[in-house]
Structure 1
Amino acid sequence: MLTHLTLINFALAEHLAIDIEQGFNVLTGETGAGKSLLLDALSACLGERTDTNYVRFGSDKADVTATFSYQPDSPEALWLKEQELDDESGELLLRRVIFATGRSKAWINGRPSSLAELKEIGRLLVQLYSQHSQQQLLEPPYPKHWIDRYSNFYAPAQAVRDAYSKWQKDIRQHQAALDAQATRKQRIDTLELQLEELEPMVQMDYKDIEQEFDRLSHHEHIMQDCSYSLAALDDAEQNINQEISSILRRIEPHAGRSEQLAEIYASMLNAQSELEDATANLRQFMDRQSFDPERMEELNSQLEIFHRLARKYRTQPELLKTEYAAWQSELQQLHELEDPETLAEQVEISHQDFLAKAQHLDVIRREAAAPLAKQLTEQVKQLALPEAHFEFKFEPLDDASSEGLSFIQLLFTANKGIPAQPLARVASGGELSRIALVMQVMNAEKTDAEVIVFDEIDVGISGGTAEIVGRLLAGLAQHVQILCITHQAQVAAQSDQHLLVKKQQTDPASSTIYELGEDGRIQELARMTGGVEINETTLQHAKQLRQLKFQHSS
């Protein structure tokens, strides 16, 4: 669970350190106070995109750290162990530094990490729902994805996608074989001619031929320079080897009198040895050299052939071997090209495999749909929609897809005796917000994440409906940690921890967050229900809201 958040120069926060408790946590505050501050900081620690607006005015960087605790057998514990980031304390620190230049850096348990890694661990830790989530309800794939998510059909749904992909791949291979048949013979003939033409040349190495030709072309100059060098080293009356020997004789008697002279003497000995070896090698090289005009002409002819073939096949002479290998591979593939009839049989096998998996997925989705619709109906009825009714409609697709055999619609009616219609067609904005809220809470019950964040998902509800929403979230908080931004006093009254966000008119302006005690809660709930003027009536109402919390808890 999330245990602590530290914000330094992050947006309106100069330096905030907040402890988060288990259970149901709410954030409230006046409009513009910075209620989204905490969620923005948490999102930054989870690898979401940031910008320079997160850096407090006048600062060069913002620094946020989120601390989580985790169980040894949890998914995040396994992930950390795989990345060699686990900690014996069972604590996880995610840190993000955002610079005013636009760059950012990230750390996981003190080790520099990528944003991709932050996102990966973030998906295991936190699930976020926002007030805009209701728009997802209107997207055609949503009902199908919601059934799969709630019923944990990820594995069979992925099996269908994999089988569909295999079937489509086999179709493409079969078609490629049919297309290739027409040009296969012609291409084989062309490749065989090209390989025959290049075969004599690929037995040779272009670089070796080029180097030997260059050496023969400069034979006279090479021999002249080598002769001069050999004379200077060994043959002349005053040669280098003799001079070095003379130097060594003079230094040797004194080498024992100075460490530095001893080192110089040793270096000179090594140099003498190296020069003697070089002299012998040079003499051997010269003895072996001879000018062969016939060999030079042969090399010149070979180079001309290399260059002619390189021009013909539009490549470099030294790359002709690579071209030859590629043509050989292509020719082998053409000879081994599967018979289209064999591939057609494979297409049918993979098609039947896809159909079997897709039919199984369709059956289990239909079996799960009715009780799920009934459960959704009962939950939504509590939110001032007493005649609400839901059902799922399965329509067979003309062409099967990777998502299955049916198009799934969520049908809804809010009125008794009126047939259910597609949700997008008949639900009002207020109805959509309530339906989205219930579906999100039901989803959250099935999530593996230990922290659920609700960002103003109770917009558009009030009164008794808001109270029921508060109870739903409080009930959910028995199993997971909840962090919720809300404007509804009835929701906030059900919380286990109440955090108040306040803006302070410092220079520049700043926001701070307080944990409220019971008296502070009553004052804040009174403000939320009664506005600016807090009187005895609003205070009594706030106390009653808190009493309802304790009544339902007992």
Structure 2
Amino acid sequence: MLTHLTLINFALADNLAIDIEQGFNVLTGETGAGKSLLLDALSACLGERTDTNYVRFGTDKADVTAVFSYQDGSPEAEWLKAHELDDESGEIHLRRVIFSTGRSKAWINGRPGSLSELKEIGRLLVQLYSQHSQQQLLEPPYPKHWIDRYSNFYTPAQQVRDAYSKWQKDIRQHQAAIDAQANRLQRIDTLQLQLEELEELIQVDYKEIEQEFDRLSHHEHIMQDCSYSLNALDESEQNIAQEMSSILRRLESHAGRSDQLSEIYNSLINAQSEIDDATANLRQFIDRQSFDPERMEELNSQLEVFHRLARKYRTQPDELKNQYTEWQQELEQLHQLEDPEALAEQVEASYQDYLNKAQHLDDIRREAAVPLAKQLTEQVKQLALPEARFEFKFEPLEQPSAEGFSFIQLLFTANKGIPAQPLAKVASGGELSRIALVMQVMNAEKTDAEVLVFDEIDVGISGGTAEIVGRLLAGLGKHVQILCITHQAQVAAQSDQHLLAKKRQSDPASSSILELEEDERIQELARMTGGIEINETTLQHARQLRQLKFQIA
């Protein structure tokens, strides 16, 4: 769970440290007080995009750290272990530094990390639901995705997508075989002629014969220079070998008198050995050389063939061997290319596999849809919609798709005796916000993340409805940690921890987030229900809201 947040020079926060408790936590405050600070800082630590507006005015960087606790064997523990980032503290420290230049740096448990790594671990730790989530309800894929998520149909849904992809790939291969069939035999003949033309030539290494031809072409010059070198090294009256021996005799008697002279003497000994080896190799090289005009003519002929074919096939002479290999591979592929009839059988097999998987997915979705619609109906009825009713409508698609056989619509009616219609056509804004809230809470019950963040998702509700929403979130907070930004006193009253965002008009302005004690909570709840002027009536109402929490608990 999230245990601590530290914000340094982050937006309106100069130096802010917040401890977050287990259970249901709310954050309230007047508009503009800085409620978004906490969520923006948390999002930055989870690898979301940032900009220079997060850097406090007059400073060069913002620094935020989020600390989470975790249990052994949890998904985040396994992730840390796989990335060699686990330690004995049982904590995860996610840190992000944002510079005024626009750059940013990230650390995970003190080690530099990438934004993609922050996002990976972040998805395991936190699930965010925003006030704009109700718009997702109006997107056509949402009902299907919601059923899959709530019912944990990810695996069969992915199997359908994979089967569909395989089927489409086989269709493309079949069509390619049909298209290629007409030109296939002609291309095979062409490749075979080209390979026959190169077959004998590629047995010869172009670079080797080029080097041998160059050596024979310069035979006389090479022999003259080699003879001169051998004479200088070992055969003239004052040759290098004799001079080296003389030098070594002179230095030998003094080598023991100086470490430096000893090192020089040893180096010259090694040099003499290298010269002796080189001289012997040079003599051997000269003895083995002979000029063969017939061999030179043979090499010249081979080189001419290399250059002629290189020009013909528009490549370099030393690339002809690679060209031969490519043609050989293409020819093998053409020979191995199955005929369209065989590929048609493969298309049919992959199609049947797709049909089986898609039918199974459609069946389990339909089976899950009925009780899920009933559960959604019962939950929404509590939010001042006593006649609400939901249905999932499955419409066959004109063409099978990677998502299955059916287009799934969520139908809704808020009135008794009125048939359910597509949600986007009949639901008002207030109804949409309440439906979105319930669907998000139901999804949250199934998430693996241990921290759920709700950003003003109770917009558009009030009174008794808000009180029920508070109870829903409080009940959910018994299983996971919840952080909720709210303007509703009825929601805030149900929380386990109440945080208050306050702005100070210093120079420059700054915001802080405070944990409220019970008396302070009553004052804040009274402000939320009664406005600027707080009197005994609003205070009494605030106390009653708090008492409801303890009565329910």
TM-score scaled by length of structure 1: 0.96
Q: CA deviation at 1:299?
A: 2.3
Is 1:61 aligned to residue 61 of structure 2? yes
Give the SS at the match of 1:129: strand
Matched AA of 2:297? E
Q: CA deviation at 1:509?
A: 2.5
CA distance in 1, matches of 2:91, 2:182: 65
Q: CA deviation at 1:62?
A: 2.0
Give the SS at the match of 1:112: strand
- Equivalent residue, structure 2, for 1:253: 253
Matched AA of 1:196? E
Give the SS at the match of 2:254: helix
Q: Pick closer, same or farther for the CA change 1:236–1:33 going to 2, 3 Å.
A: farther
Matched AA of 1:320? L
CA distance in 2, matches of 1:484, 1:437: 12
- Equivalent residue, structure 2, for 1:262: 262
- Equivalent residue, structure 2, for 1:103: 103
| Alignment deviations for residues 194-245 of structure 1 (CA, whole Å, 9 cap, x no partner) | 1011112211111112222222333333333333332332233322222222
Matched AA of 2:98? I
Q: Which moved more, 1:246-255 or 1:391-400?
A: 246-255
CA distance in 2, matches of 1:519, 1:286: 106
Q: Pick closer, same or farther for the CA change 1:504–1:242 going to 2, 3 Å.
A: farther
CA distance in 2, matches of 1:161, 1:456: 35
Gap regions ≥5 residues in structure 1 = none
- Equivalent residue, structure 2, for 1:311: 311
Q: Which moved more, 1:418-427 or 1:259-268?
A: 259-268
- Equivalent residue, structure 1, for 2:291: 291
- Equivalent residue, structure 1, for 2:467: 467
Q: CA deviation at 1:287?
A: 2.4
- Equivalent residue, structure 2, for 1:495: 495
Aligned pairs for 1:249-398 (under 5 A) are 249-398=249-398
CA distance in 2, matches of 1:116, 1:218: 62
| Alignment deviations for residues 288-344 of structure 1 (CA, whole Å, 9 cap, x no partner) | 223333333332332222222222222222211111111111111111222322222
CA distance in 1, matches of 2:57, 2:309: 67
Q: CA deviation at 1:383?
A: 1.3
Matched AA of 1:149? R
CA distance in 1, matches of 2:283, 2:507: 86
CA distance in 2, matches of 1:348, 1:183: 25
Q: Which moved more, 1:51-60 or 1:389-398?
A: 51-60
Q: Pick closer, same or farther for the CA change 1:534–1:227 going to 2, 3 Å.
A: farther
- Equivalent residue, structure 2, for 1:515: 515
Give the SS at the match of 1:5: strand
Aligned pairs for 1:5-84 (under 5 A) are 5-84=5-84
Give the SS at the match of 2:445: helix
Q: Pick closer, same or farther for the CA change 1:228–1:81 going to 2, 3 Å.
A: same
CA distance in 1, matches of 2:524, 2:291: 103
CA distance in 2, matches of 1:151, 1:161: 18
- Equivalent residue, structure 2, for 1:86: 86
Matched AA of 1:550? F
Q: CA deviation at 1:113?
A: 2.0
Is 1:524 aligned to residue 527 of structure 2? no
CA distance in 2, matches of 1:35, 1:221: 89
Give the SS at the match of 2:68: strand
Q: CA deviation at 1:494?
A: 1.0
| Alignment deviations for residues 165-218 of structure 1 (CA, whole Å, 9 cap, x no partner) | 222222222222222221110110010011011112211111112222222333
Q: Pick closer, same or farther for the CA change 1:232–1:9 going to 2, 3 Å.
A: farther
Q: CA deviation at 1:99?
A: 2.3
CA distance in 2, matches of 1:388, 1:279: 103
Matched AA of 1:444? A
Q: Pick closer, same or farther for the CA change 1:240–1:506 going to 2, 3 Å.
A: farther
Matched AA of 1:351? Y
- Equivalent residue, structure 1, for 2:453: 453
| Alignment deviations for residues 353-378 of structure 1 (CA, whole Å, 9 cap, x no partner) | 21111111111111111111111111
Give the SS at the match of 1:522: helix
Give the SS at the match of 1:446: coil
CA distance in 2, matches of 1:314, 1:60: 59
Q: Pick closer, same or farther for the CA change 1:300–1:362 going to 2, 3 Å.
A: same
CA distance in 2, matches of 1:99, 1:219: 69
- Equivalent residue, structure 2, for 1:169: 169
CA distance in 2, matches of 1:238, 1:151: 97
CA distance in 2, matches of 1:96, 1:279: 67
CA distance in 1, matches of 2:38, 2:314: 62
Give the SS at the match of 2:315: coil
Matched AA of 2:336? E
- Equivalent residue, structure 1, for 2:417: 417
- Equivalent residue, structure 1, for 2:213: 213
Q: CA deviation at 1:9?
A: 2.0
Give the SS at the match of 2:434: helix
Give the SS at the match of 1:390: strand
Matched AA of 1:522? I
Q: Which moved more, 1:47-56 or 1:469-478?
A: 47-56
Q: Which moved more, 1:57-66 or 1:271-280?
A: 57-66
Q: CA deviation at 1:391?
A: 0.5
Q: Which moved more, 1:73-82 or 1:128-137?
A: 73-82
Matched AA of 1:173? Q
CA distance in 2, matches of 1:456, 1:37: 14
Gap regions ≥5 residues in structure 2 = none
What is the aligned length? 553
- Equivalent residue, structure 2, for 1:477: 477
CA distance in 1, matches of 2:12, 2:304: 75
Matched AA of 2:377? T
- Equivalent residue, structure 1, for 2:548: 548
- Equivalent residue, structure 2, for 1:159: 159
Give the SS at the match of 2:395: strand
CA distance in 2, matches of 1:40, 1:447: 22
CA distance in 2, matches of 1:222, 1:506: 89
Q: CA deviation at 1:263?
A: 1.4
Q: Pick closer, same or farther for the CA change 1:59–1:230 going to 2, 3 Å.
A: farther
TM-score scaled by length of structure 2: 0.97
